[in-house]
Amino acid sequence: MRTPTLKTIAQSLTAVAMGVTMISGGAALASAAPGRGHGFDRNVASGRLSRFDYSLEGRGGYVTAVTGTSVTVESLSGLTTTFALTPTTTYREGDSPTSIGSLVVGDRIHVAVSATAPQTATAVTIELAELMGVVTGVNANTVSIRSDQGFTRTIIVSPTTTYREGGSSTTLSSVAVGSRIEAQGTIDANGVSLDALNVLIDANIHRETFRGVVQSFTSSSVTVLSSGGVIETFAFTTTTTFKSGDVTLTAGSLAAGQHVTVSFDSAAATTALNVSIELAKVTGTVASIAGDLITLSGGEGFSRPVLVSGQTTYVEKGKSATLANISVGTRIRAEGTVAADLITLDALRVTISPSRDRNTPAKGSNSNHSNRKSPDRTR
């Protein structure tokens, strides 16, 4: 096995550095354009790390010249190589077949060769330019986006542009203001816009969240104060859901002082899609059980009343249990909402701690201790 030289290692580190640059510049125009400067500060062909390890393979990089029978490529290491193109050379643009006519100066490509003819290209793959960001405007021919850094970019679409959302084909009508998209294509002749071949729509980008403490609520809305001092009121609809983890709740589970996370659509920022309620939790040892009321003794000796109901679920050792599994001396953790008296917990879920076998000594204890008499200290 060949030992890598210092030069090879340096090239590999340079490739990693390029990858970091490419990741951090994900929303910038994602391909090299004619006239870019030399060195490693030029634009890149993708907002993500390239799948081609040009520096090690030495058969890929930026197109510096192209004719009907050859293509000249400058690798990331600065090496310039000319590959012959033949009638049997195949071409791909991203994942789609294309022709030699798609090759232009400034493209970043990968060149496949055979072992017997290392200067002849058997296949050429053009790495598409990419733009990604949040849609700020849409018309019949263009989509405007704003990058995460705040730059505005224009994506040119056409009847041949394809669209996908959530794994399914769709149309331009699915691209809406507030959507987050990733477009792939070629750089337009203006050197700034992207001529899109395909557009991927993030199905979840519309959803945003607001987290804070419930200040007030009604059956139709909730007012929340964020940690930054911002107050927002969200309206409920018939489709608004209320949850805590995997537990389904209702608007009636809300209480002032609760921590909640409200999900909403950026296009309807005052309407709650879901309210995630952070349940109150009480842990302690059962001191008494009277019907549906369990009284706990906390670690500091305070009594904590827990009210259970037919909707309360019980879990012990990962399996479903019932109220009958709880007895005086059992340690439990109850989760639920604070009752109107602001003292009692209305339990939605109770987790029962495994009870220690009375015949099993505690960890680290000597099993013979129970049979020994205490030393006589009354001498």
DSSP run (H or E) holding 86: strand 80-93
More confident residue, 184 or 75: 184
31 and 102 together in one domain: yes
User: Is 243 a member of any domain?
Assistant: yes
118 and 155 together in one domain: no
Q: What is the pLDDT of residues 270-319, one digit of tens each?
A: 899 899 998 888 999 999 999 999 999 876 678 899 999 998 999 998 88
Q: Cα 135–138–144 angle (5° rounding)?
A: 50
Of 73, 96, 127, the residue that ends a domain is 127
* pLDDT of 35 over the 50 cut: no
86 and 21 together in one domain: yes
User: Is 371 a member of any domain?
Assistant: no
- Coil, strand or helix: which one is 56? helix
The pTM score is 0.41
User: Is 359 a member of any domain?
Assistant: no
Integer Rg of the chain from CA: 32
- Which pLDDT score, from 0 to 100, does residue 331 have? 94
The CATH number covering residue 230 comes to 2.40.50.320
116 and 141 together in one domain: no
| Least confident span in 15-19, 143-147, 235-239 | 15-19
User: Is 154 a member of any domain?
Assistant: yes
Residues in CB range of 339: below 8 A, 6 or more apart: 307, 345, 346
120 and 51 together in one domain: yes
pLDDT mean over 237-251:
86
- Which pLDDT score, from 0 to 100, does residue 299 have? 66
- Name the residue among 329, 328, 330, 337 with its Cα closest to residue 352: 330
- Which pLDDT score, from 0 to 100, does residue 323 have? 95
Of 127, 144, 168, the residue that ends a domain is 127
153 and 214 together in one domain: no
CA dihedral for 36, 42, 43, 44, sign (positive or negative): positive
User: Is 297 a member of any domain?
Assistant: yes
The CATH number covering residue 140 comes to 2.40.50.140
269 and 181 together in one domain: no
User: Is 378 a member of any domain?
Assistant: no
Backbone dihedral angles phi then psi of residue 168, each to the nearest 5 degrees: -120, 150
| Least confident span in 84-88, 147-151, 183-187 | 147-151
Of 257, 278, 299, the residue that ends a domain is 278
Q: What is the pLDDT of residues 110-163, one digit of tens each?
A: 898 888 998 999 999 888 888 888 888 999 899 999 876 678 899 999 998 999
User: Is 145 a member of any domain?
Assistant: yes
Q: Which two tokens stand for residue 233?
A: 């009121």
* pLDDT of 42 over the 50 cut: no
Give the DSSP per-residue string, 183-217.
EEEEE-TTSSSEEEEEEEEETTTTEEEEEEEEEEE
78 and 176 together in one domain: no
Domain that holds residue 341: 280-352
* pLDDT of 45 over the 70 cut: no
Q: Which two tokens stand for residue 224?
A: 């929340």
316 and 216 together in one domain: no
- The average confidence (pLDDT) of the chain is 77
Residues in CB range of 37: below 8 A, 6 or more apart: none
CB 143 within 8 A of CB 183: yes
DSSP run (H or E) holding 16: helix 6-24
15 and 123 together in one domain: yes
**For the ranges 160-174, 209-223, 341-355, the one whose mean pLDDT is highest:** 209-223
User: Is 193 a member of any domain?
Assistant: yes
More confident residue, 374 or 92: 92
251 and 311 together in one domain: no
Q: Count up the domains in the chain and report the number.
A: 4
32 and 119 together in one domain: yes
Strands 194-202 and 152-156: parallel
